[in-house]
Structure 1
Amino acid sequence: MKKVPIEYQISPYMVFFLVNSMQIGVGLLGFERISAKLAGNDAWISTLLSGLSINVMIWMIYKILNQGKGNIVAIHHDVFGKWIGGAFSLIFLFYLLVTGATILRTYIEVVQVWMFSIMPTWILVGIFLILCYYIVSGGFRVVAGICFFGVLLPSTLAFTFFFPLQFADFRNLFPIMQHSFKEIIKGMQGNLFSYFGFETLLVYYTFIKNPKKSQKFAHYGALVTTAVYTYLMILSLVFFSEKQLASAIWAYLSMSKIIQFSFIERFEYILISFWAFVILPNVVLTLWGVSRGMRETFGMKQKYILPILILFIFILTILLDDRNKVNLISTWVGKSGFIIVYIYLPVLWLIQSLQIKFRRQT
């Protein structure tokens, strides 16, 4: 595999922002409802376990990458051969592309429900994708910069996490562990989709200077995400009753409605608008990752692939014209992500390790 020139690479610490920006996205606005339905007041334990399991998978991803020859496309080629490996790479890239489209369409739905109810979807999506094309065309360092600001700028809204505490009833958390272990594990399924996105590391690994040194920063990014999601789950459980939370599609936005200042009453409008800085890194990094992977799979230039990918996302988001379709594709992405992260990657690591051991012996 051709080595990436150093002028296109990023420092290892930037992986913190790449991982964190991909995990904290539209899921943060309303991930609590499904998990709370499955695990009740113990849903915060499910959220914590999900985050810890993600760190285990990051460790495994680095094992695969460190002993491989490049990114996931090169590893597939080395482990499975040109044709089978290429097929696996295309499946993974298609998953990333649909994930990016789902994130964008979900955010557009939030904007339409809370702010511009009669605004056509194609206008909002078109404006967003034009900006994405401009950013991705600038190269990976520009994309990484957007991820940096996608973490830094929204962090100024961290104060909104504490306003709902004045209405908290911590008795809602007790008794702890009243649900079975099986129910808690099922509760993990309700929030794992929000944690996914870190697997883009499999594509941009070769763009990191001294990539082995970046592992600790990837773990730090995932741990910060885990802390944020666990806190918000606890906050939702103590703010809402169990029945209220079961019907709160966007729990975080519903809690933010209580925030009022003398100079602004509907603070959630500012929050939703500012959240575009959170969603933007999600979409541009997946677009860059898919276009880069397609380039290495087919030998085409990214500038020719990118418009096709953007057109695909544009058409897909237009076709998702109601809540049921959005829920359906979100469920598909969540299940696909679970299979890829928790089933396929361990199998890939096992096969790769056995091949390396066999080659050394021969």
Structure 2
Amino acid sequence: MKKYALNEITSTQYICLNSGIQISVFFLSMPRKLAEKAGTDGWIALIIGWAVTVAASLIVIQVMKRYPEGTLFDLLTRYVGKWTGKAAAIFFALYLFYYAYTGLVQAVLLTKAWLLPQTSAFIVMLLLLIPTYVIARNGLRVLGRYAEIVFMISWWIPFVYLLLLRDVNWLNMFPILKEGWMPVFSAVPTTFFSYIGFATTFILYPFLKNKKKASSAIMISNTLTMFGYVFITVICFVYYSPDEIQKYNEPMVSILESIEFKFVERIGVLFIAFFLLIFSLAWIPAIYMGVFCTSWLLGQQDHRNHLRLLWLFTAVGTFFFIPTFNQSDRMNDFLIRVGFGIEYVFPGCLLIYLWMHDRFQWRKNL
């Protein structure tokens, strides 16, 4: 019997989860950050980052094929030893909790800035944590269905942004590679924050119903993420001038002020409220998989007690302290560095180790 059969997810749910984890609040400010690094050639950096991410994602899949019925921690326990598996579980739990916390902090700051400026950060955090607990407590299958629903009700968003094309200047994009390749390459590390989250495959893989489609599923999810980022980046680049876009913190929201509907005022506020639903796909799965790690560490099947403790700790901590926008940016910079090591470097090193281990065992048995 499969160890994780109770919470199996479909390939579609996996695609939605993986792509949803990658699309965080950073999505709103990304065009500005790319413009600061590479001007209107920043979209090329997104494609390069996507290619690197696809390669790293496929390496993760190849690693998990060595032990398809277990998570990364089960695999490490089998190949290296139980203490290595436990250390990895602790490290991944801390990483996922930090990833989720940065997403929550950004969501709180965004909500206060655009929607509820007079409401305390503690109350806003509670408003986000309550549905987070309700969804995460029910396990991965419910989380997968939630991701599917969010994706299905979000397909209308790109069509609204297409309305802006009547007022754009395509000459902003030309000439391509105005200053050569160096600015583009300097912007590539910035794009890694747009794609981190695929390492959750180390935990999600044994839950997949059809593991044969894992490679194609992760490529599809990364490609969907890339298309979303490139689409909104190009829209912002052709609407704003190269210098003007750098004046807006969240150009993806500011650009909506030029769209007018007779039946609604301040459409940007409406979009921010809806974006929070999409961005919840970043912190809710991260929180669930974080408490999954701690539950695995203690050999427990029920993750809900760990989830309650984390919920309480986050809520109480927010009552006493909430990072500012500048502190949040520094947290994101640190997350990029840690995430690059965990999601891009570690899988390759692990695959080399497993290959050498299997080859040594094969020669030893000759």
TM-score by length of 1: 0.94
Superposed displacement of residue 161, structure 1: 2.1
Match of 1:344 in 2: 346
Superposed displacement of residue 5, structure 1: 4.9
Match of 2:86 in 1: 86
In structure 2, relative to structure 1, the CA distance for the partners of 1:59 and 1:260 (3 Å cut) is same
Match of 2:2 in 1: 3
| Pairs within 5 Å for 1:301-340 | 301-315=302-316, 317=318, 319-340=321-342
Does 1:263 pair with 2:285?
no
Match of 2:43 in 1: 44
TM-score by length of 2: 0.93
Give the AA of the match of 1:83.
W
| SS in structure 2 at match of 1:151 | helix
Q: CA RMSD in A?
A: 1.8
Superposed displacement of residue 60, structure 1: 0.8
Give the AA of the match of 1:14.
Q
Take 2:52 and 2:316, find their aligned partners in 1: how far apart are those partners? 34
| SS in structure 2 at match of 1:191 | helix
Unaligned runs of 5+ in 2: none
Give the AA of the match of 1:24.
I
Match of 1:281 in 2: 281
In structure 2, relative to structure 1, the CA distance for the partners of 1:95 and 1:253 (3 Å cut) is same
Superposed displacement of residue 150, structure 1: 2.0
Whether the 8 Å CA contact 1:33–1:245 is kept in 2: the answer is yes
Does 1:16 pair with 2:18?
no
| SS in structure 2 at match of 1:232 | helix
| SS in structure 2 at match of 1:143 | helix
Whether the 8 Å CA contact 1:25–1:282 is kept in 2: the answer is yes
| Pairs within 5 Å for 1:1-362 | 3-68=2-67, 70-300=70-300, 301-315=302-316, 317=318, 319-362=321-364
Report the more deviating stretch, 223-232 or 22-31.
22-31
Unaligned runs of 5+ in 1: none
Note the alpha carbon deviations across 1:44-66, whole angstroms, 9 max, x for none: 10011112221111111100111
In structure 2, relative to structure 1, the CA distance for the partners of 1:45 and 1:74 (3 Å cut) is same
Q: For this pair of structures, how many residues does the alignment match?
A: 361
Moved beyond 6 Å, runs of 4+: none
Note the alpha carbon deviations across 1:97-156, whole angstroms, 9 max, x for none: 111111111112111111211211111111211211111111111111111112111222
Take 1:272 and 1:330, find their aligned partners in 2: how far apart are those partners? 20
Take 1:74 and 1:208, find their aligned partners in 2: how far apart are those partners? 16
Give the AA of the match of 2:215.
Q
In structure 2, relative to structure 1, the CA distance for the partners of 1:164 and 1:316 (3 Å cut) is farther
Report the more deviating stretch, 6-15 or 43-52.
6-15
Superposed displacement of residue 211, structure 1: 1.7
Superposed displacement of residue 317, structure 1: 4.9
